[in-house]
Chains A and B, each alone.
Chain A
Amino acid sequence: MSLLEVKDLKVAYGHIEALKGISLSVEEGEVVAILGANGAGKTTFMRSLSGLLKPRSGTIQYDGHDIGKARADAIVGLGIAQSPEGRRVFGTLTVEENLMLGAYTRSRPEALETRKQVYELFPRLLERKAQMAGTLSGGEQQMLAIGRALMAKPRLLLLDEPSLGLAPIIVKGIFSALRDIRASGVTILVVEQNARMALKLADRGYVLEVGRIVHEDSAKALMASPEVQEAYLGKGH
């Protein structure tokens, strides 16, 4: 059985249907990328997985639980953590307070243990641990958002646009950290506009267009597909 199994998920804002029946699955240990342009429904999908949006119909099965109707804070306790779009760090709290909040559902000794690992992964956060998160650079805030999600010690890590608004060199650094996270055995579902970076990291990928999945294949095959190259990778690069 898959770790995450989504079937015919429909989500609407009032009369506007943002997701028109999404089905996908993520196996334990896999990295799965969801590609799509602005407005394709990527963030809506991520917010439904974490319980911030309630689906109109369809099911979300995670590790045997039906989480489609569960509260967001209860879903975290089941082992799903999200680094949200736009990072959403708590700007007036310190880096360390942000991290500790990530481990809100866990005991303090467990949290301190994970915090050590997060600081090893992102030494920059250790240097700036007493600083308010709002004073960090964009790249550092992204590290903090990912580190904060890792503090929950998730089995499934949801990453919404980790490269958004960051310089290419910073994006490289972030994705190299993601490879380390993947090597530690965490299952990752990543949503990205930067298709090239996402497909290099992922095992499999889905392409989302206006609320529907239009392609589904291995990352290699998607990389090679002329349609994906045309729409998301840009020819000649």
Chain B
Amino acid sequence: MEIFFQQLANGLTVGSIYALIALGYTMVYGILKLINFAHGDLAVLGAFIGLTVITSLTGAGAAPSHWVVILAFVVAVLVVAIAGVLLELTAYRPLRHAHRLSAVVSALGASMLLENGIMLIWSPQTLTFPEGILPSTNYVIGGVVLNSTQILIVAISFLLMLALYLYVNKTRFGTAIRASAIDQDAARLMGINVNRVIVSVFILGPALGAIGGLFIGIYYRQAVFDMGWIYGLNAFIAAIIGGIGNIPGAMLGGLLLGLFNSLAGGYISSTWQEAITFALLILILLVRPTGILGERVAEKV
């Protein structure tokens, strides 16, 4: 039973990171019906930028101060949001009226460009994150070890997701985002500048992704230039499980996938973990192709 709760705690941590990254996939898909394959790499870019800020402002061997850590998150979010907007303007907008496949190829190209760019700027080696970026105290509750880094990651992720949910569902601009995702021409007839909405999605998604990427680096204490592939894939699967295009779906899918991965890794086999993830994806697509929360209301024509 202790193992179960331990895996539950670990799964919740990884799951909330998946959820943060999955939101970027699902928001872009919601509006452009495009899988932004570069999104995982944007998250990784966030991890590397955060690491650079921390190491360049902290003396060797010393623990980074609170302010440095906060600054690292702010800089990572800003740079990655700008990268997201540049990506939309250069790789996707010129292809808005082109064949769907062109945009997919452009997305894959952007992914490779980012991945190799990160390798050239930083290193092809795995970089280590210093200790003590987030407070790391262990609490033992009934035999289960809960680390304060885990608790912080989960809490911050939940707060960010709640904020995004409220923004999209309760504000005027958020309603414009949802309207543009349903019918872009009708949204234009309301006076909504749909291009501005699309840019906003390429700010929000990558900003959350950057935080997710930095959490990965802090949690596993390492980052490597090509890890965007596997984390991006997991987040993408999470978005599909929840129902791609659906924001609460991405949150739910991320948490479920994190918990599932962790339990499968703990109880079945950690070497087969990825295969099990894909088996879950196939199963969900067979039983519920629209994902758990996808398409709840039938649209009348």
Interface size on A, residues (CB 8 A): 34
Nearest A-chain residue to B178, judged by Cβ: A93
A50 touches B189 (CB 8 A): yes
A42-101 at interface with B (beta carbon < 8 Å): 50-52, 71-73, 76-77, 81-82, 84, 86, 88-93, 97, 100-101
B175 touches A101 (CB 8 A): yes
A104 touches B188 (CB 8 A): no
B185 touches A101 (CB 8 A): no
Please, which residues of chain A bring their CB within 8 A of the CB of B183? Answer: 88, 90
A72 touches B300 (CB 8 A): no
Known: A134-B300, A135-B297, A141-B300. A93 touches B191 (CB 8 A): no
B257-297 at interface with A (beta carbon < 8 Å): 296-297
Cα A141 to Cα B299 with chains together (Å) = 11
Cα A221 to Cα B194 with chains together (Å) = 43
Cα A89 to Cα B297 with chains together (Å) = 14
Known: A82-B189, A134-B300. A90 touches B194 (CB 8 A): no
Known: A93-B175, A101-B179. A73 touches B299 (CB 8 A): no
B299 touches A84 (CB 8 A): no
B166-221 at interface with A (beta carbon < 8 Å): 172, 175-176, 178-179, 182-183, 185-194
Please, which residues of chain B bring their CB within 8 A of the CB of A141? Answer: 300
Q: Does A25 contact B (CB under 8 A)?
A: no
Determine which of A76, A93, A135 lies in contact with B189 in the assembled complex, contact meaning CB atoms within 8 Å.
Answer: A76
Interface size on B, residues (CB 8 A): 23
Cα A104 to Cα B176 with chains together (Å) = 8
A84 touches B189 (CB 8 A): yes
Q: Does A148 contact B (CB under 8 A)?
A: yes
Cα A196 to Cα B300 with chains together (Å) = 27
Nearest B-chain residue to A88, judged by Cβ: B186
Nearest A-chain residue to B196, judged by Cβ: A73
Cα A72 to Cα B194 with chains together (Å) = 10
Known: A88-B185, A90-B183. A104 touches B191 (CB 8 A): yes
- Smallest Cβ distance from A132 to chain B, in angstroms? 5
Q: Does B298 contact A (CB under 8 A)?
A: yes
**Chain B interface (Cβ within 8 Å of chain A)?**
172, 175-176, 178-179, 182-183, 185-194, 296-301
The 5 closest A-B pairs by CB, nearest first: A76-B191, A72-B188, A105-B191, A91-B299, A88-B186
Could you name 21 residue pairs across A and B whose Cβ atoms are closer than 8 Å?
A50-B189, A52-B185, A52-B189, A72-B185, A73-B193, A76-B189, A82-B189, A90-B182, A90-B183, A91-B182, A91-B297, A92-B178, A92-B296, A92-B297, A101-B175, A102-B190, A104-B190, A104-B191, A134-B297, A135-B297, A152-B191
Given contact pairs A73-B192, A90-B186, A93-B179, enumerate 7 new A-B contacts (beta carbons under 8 Å).
Answer: A52-B189, A84-B189, A90-B178, A90-B183, A91-B299, A104-B191, A105-B190
